[in-house]
Amino acid sequence: MAVAILKKILQNSMFLIAGRLFSRAMQFVLFVYAARQLGVATFGLFSFAYATVNLFAITMDLGLSSYLVQQLSRKQQRLTTLLFQAMWLKAILIPLGLAIILISGSLLATHTATWWSLILLGIAAAVDSITSLFYAVFHSRQQMQYSALVIATSNGIMSLVGLALLFFYPVVGLLCGIFALGAVLRCILAAMIVRRKIELPEKRSDDRFATEMLAKAFPFALVTIFVTIYYYIDTLILTAFSSAEVVGHYNAAYRLLEAPQFIVQAVTTALFPAASSFYNHDRSELRHLTAHFVQKAAAFGISVAIVTAYVADELVYLLYGSAYSASGPLLAVLIISAAIIMPNTICGTTLRATDHQNISAVVTGLGAFLNIGLNLAVVPQFEALGAAWATVATEGFVLVVYFFLVWRWVGPLFSFTFLLRLVLIGLLWMTAMTATRPLGVVAQVGAAVVLFFPFLIASGIFKTKELKKIMQRKAPS
């Protein structure tokens, strides 16, 4: 039944949201506390190391994990064969990635602490690359509760240990070591679950498929490479043209974007294997699911963007203190990109689930080059504010192209009426935030939480009739 598929997606989304909510909350507290303890300049050095490792760590995976989810969603009987072949490829890719990170560290790092941070974060990335294969097994079987358990447990322990140690030893190298500890915990827990909970089929010999796997996974790698570039290249360019303090202010604001985005990331993680399956069985149901989640993501993104923009300065002061006051205006601009990223993520996931990963790679590649060009053009003069607007412009470009492609290959995602509803929910939020401004940031955020679903219903974006229609739909066998 189609309702069973949708329920499974929603159930898996809730597992991941619950796990990642706890995980991100703990990690967010760790980041904020570290920013306070380390100071703006040292936090800027950490942000540079964090961005550099995330940029070059892509070479440790090259799209294998995403390709594994896509294929195992259709061919569970080959789980053992594909998993072992992916591990064999990782044994080559991980040392290569570590070497690239260390070489880049020796070329880019100007401070000894930064170089050691690159090493420790590189080790964490290597271990997480192995863990991603175990996640692929969970996700392909739509058993996201295991991923949620691993993420919540490991990051909870990591954050508690980090908070305790940073209280006594506020050192950037220690913070990076804590991230390595979290990666090791995730890998151990995920491996134990696969060993005990997943029944692995008998391995089949297929020597050619390892090379074929890497070739077919490469478009997924390109998408990841380009997305990572325009997530982290701004930090590297800011480092080249600005001070560590500017980098620290920018990344303090950027870290706050992760809070709302993890929800849509959880949904797309659950959506990807189901969309891959529907592509082979029922294209009309695929269009329905894609439109459903794109509309909800757009409404959620606009809601979060307006609320955050209204309280940006007060929120930054509340979390980071007066030393990070320059991060407030940056957050007010960057949160616009977060609103655009949410429907973007759904569209990109749909393209990759429908065997259009090559096209998705081209789109994200164009976005990455656009982002680099914009940053190089505006950062020397406008510094962090220029980088923030470059991010917004890049996401806007990708949104337009993705909508056109998904509309062409999957079907229409929204109507003119839906656009009017988005305008209505925007007006409702602006009215509410203006009316509650005298009450202070805590009261405003609390009011936003209470009003979220009533505003969705009032604007017509969420209707109870919608659930009844879903219950009446038929699914592919």
DSSP E strand boundaries for 97-182: none
Percentage of the chain lying above the pLDDT 90 cut: 19
Tokens 């997480």 belong to residue: 128
Give mean pLDDT, residues 280-286.
Answer: 71
For residues 273 and 387, membership in a common domain is answered with: yes
What does each C-alpha distance from 334 to 256, 365, 409 come to in angstroms? 9, 21, 31
CA distance 425 to 418: 11
Residue 416 CB partners (closer than 8 Å, separation 6+): none
**Rounded distance between C-alpha atoms, residue 192 and residue 107, angstroms:** 39
Pair 109, 59 in one domain: yes
In terms of pLDDT, which residue wins out, 476 or 151?
151
The mean pLDDT value of the chain amounts to 80
Among candidates 253, 249, 242, which has minimal Cα distance to 44? 249
**What distance in Å separates the CA atoms of residue 185 and residue 127, rounded to the nearest whole number?**
9
Condensed to tens digits (0 to 9), the pLDDT of residues 2-17 reads 555 555 555 555 666 6
Distance CA 445, CA 310 (A): 10
Question: Is residue 167's pLDDT more than 90?
Answer: no
- Answer for the pair 48, 114: CB distance below 8 angstroms, yes or no: yes
Whether residues 59 and 189 share a domain: the answer is yes
* Domain span holding position 78: 1-240
> 331 and 440: one domain?
yes
Residue 472's pLDDT band, with cuts at 50, 70 and 90, is very low
- Shared domain for 357 and 226, answered yes or no, is no
Rounded-to-integer distance, Cα 169 and Cα 313, Å: 29
Q: How confident is the model at residue 194 (pLDDT cuts 50, 70, 90)?
A: confident
Q: Please check whether residues 125 and 233 belong to one and the same domain.
A: yes
d(CA 425, CA 453): 11
pLDDT at res. 297: 86
First to last CA, the chain: 7
Check whether 112 has a pLDDT greater than 70. Answer: no
Per-residue confidence (pLDDT) for residue 471, from 0 to 100: 41
Residues 409 and 323 placed together within one structural domain of the fold: yes
- Token pair 């996401």: residue: 395
Tens digit of each residue's pLDDT (9 = 90 or more) over 22-35: 777 788 888 888 88
Question: For residue range 27-84, what is the model confidence (pLDDT) as tens digits?
Answer: 888 888 888 888 888 888 888 888 888 888 888 887 777 777 777 766 666 667 777 7
How many domains, in total, are found in the chain?
2
The more confidently predicted of residues 270 and 301 is 301
Where in 182-301 does DSSP place strands (E)?
A: none
User: Are 175 and 284 found together in one domain?
Assistant: no
Boundary of a domain, candidates 240, 270, 296: 240
* Same domain, yes or no: 399 and 339: yes
Of residues 284 and 39, the one with the higher pLDDT is 39
Q: What tens digit of pLDDT does each residue of 196-235 get?
A: 766 655 555 455 555 666 666 666 667 777 777 777 788 8
Look at the block and give the residue holding tokens 């909510």: 21
Mean pLDDT value of segment 309-335: 90
Cα–Cα dist 390/382, whole Å:
11
Tell which wins on pLDDT, 91 or 216: 91
At 165, list the tokens. Answer: 């140690």
Higher-confidence residue: 52 or 142?
Answer: 52
Is the predicted pLDDT of residue 306 greater than 90, yes or no? yes
Do 10 and 104 belong to one domain?
A: yes
Helix/strand/coil (H, E, C) string of 396-419?
Answer: HHHHHHHHHHHHHHCCCCCCHHHH
pLDDT of residue 475: 37
3-class secondary-structure state, position 54: helix
Domain final residue, candidates 215, 240, 265: 240
pLDDT tens digits, residue range 414-467?
888 888 999 999 999 999 999 988 888 888 888 888 888 888 888 888 766 654
The mean pLDDT value for 127-155 works out to: 82
Separation of alpha carbons 190 and 460, rounded Å: 41
Which residue among 212, 240, 268 closes a domain? 240
Nearest Cα to Cα of residue 45 among 167, 158, 175: 175
**Closest to 101 measured CA to CA, from 168, 154, 51:** 51
The two three-digit tokens of residue 398, written as one number = 């990708």
Q: Return the number of other C-beta atoms located less than 10 Å from residue 49's C-beta.
A: 29
Check if the beta carbon of residue 47 is closer than 8 Å to that of residue 113.
no
199 vs 134, 138, 195, 202, 229, CA distance in Å?
13, 12, 8, 10, 38
**Are 266 and 396 contained in the same domain?**
yes
**Cβ of 309: how many Cβ atoms within 10 Å?**
18
Q: Are residues 235 and 369 in the same domain?
A: no
Read off the pTM.
Answer: 0.70
Per mean pLDDT, which range of 113-127, 279-293, 346-360, 385-399 is the poorest?
279-293
Q: Do residues 16 and 144 make contact, with C-beta atoms less than 8 angstroms apart?
A: yes
